[in-house]
A and B are shown apart, each in its own frame.
Chain A
Amino acid sequence: MENKINWETEMDRALAQARAENKLVLLDFFNPG
């Protein structure tokens, strides 16, 4: 199992991956501080 979340950083890639894997997308707007 992964030991961290492997965040995607590009919307288009995330949506394409979601369609390919039949999953939904969790979009996190964050403040890097």
Chain B
Amino acid sequence: MDAVTYPDAEVIGFIGENLIPLRVQFDAQPLSSDFNVKWTPTLVTLDSYGTEHHRTVGFLSPEELIPSLLLGIAKTYFEADRFDEALQNFEKLLAEHPKSDSAPEAIYLQGVCRYKSTHDAKPLKQAYEKLSAEYPSSEWTRRAYPYRLL
């Protein structure tokens, strides 16, 4: 991460604009135990009260880190029932990083978010259809499989 991803200008700009970056050694206590850290790098998205909403383990290239961080931001808002802000970040991720590894989960959660904010089931089926068309081998396509019947 230090050699490739963190020196990247887009990564520096994205983090500076959107997040407070906090770095601690993997064995620093009590945080290491509190977050059950077993390998590095472990990246965790927290809300401003310290609650975890997204985690990745292992190296991420600049092209994968930014969408992963967008997914973390969107999931944080989603889990706070702040659906408009969640959707803005899911949409940004999918518009700017449609081929990223984070995209299928974003499509799935975008459908869930739209369903929860409208109580209309159509977005769930649309999420499955988009996933099956564009990411047929994704685990998120399999998780959305029941929604084909809606």
A binding-site residues for B, Cβ under 8 Å = 1-11, 14-15, 17-19, 21-32
Residue from the list A3, A9, A15, A29 in contact with B50, Cβ < 8 A: A15
B26 in the interface (beta carbon within 8 A): yes
> Across the A-B interface, how many residue pairs have beta carbons closer than 8 Å?
128
Interface string of B1-29 (1 = CB under 8 A from A): 11000110101110110111111111010
Give the interface size class of chain B.
35 or more
Chain B contact surface mostly? mixed
A23 near B48 with CB under 8 A, answer yes
B binding-site residues for A, Cβ under 8 Å = 1-2, 6-7, 9, 11-13, 15-16, 18-26, 28, 31-32, 35, 37, 40-50, 53, 69, 72-73, 76
CB neighbours (8 Å) of A22 from chain B are 48
Report the minimum CB–CB distance from A16 to chain B (whole Å).
Answer: 8
- Name 5 A/B residue pairs within 8 A (Cβ), A-sorted: A8-B21, A15-B46, A24-B53, A26-B46, A28-B21
Residue from the list B13, B40, B50 in contact with A11, Cβ < 8 A: B50
Report the minimum CB–CB distance from A7 to chain B (whole Å).
Answer: 4
B35 near A27 with CB under 8 A, answer yes
A5 near B15 with CB under 8 A, answer yes
CB neighbours (8 Å) of B26 from chain A are 29-31
A27 near B40 with CB under 8 A, answer no
Report the minimum CB–CB distance from A12 to chain B (whole Å).
Answer: 9
B46 near A25 with CB under 8 A, answer yes
Given contacts A2-B12, A14-B21, A15-B50, 9 further A-B contacts (CB under 8 A): A1-B13, A1-B16, A5-B15, A5-B16, A8-B21, A8-B22, A10-B22, A26-B15, A29-B41
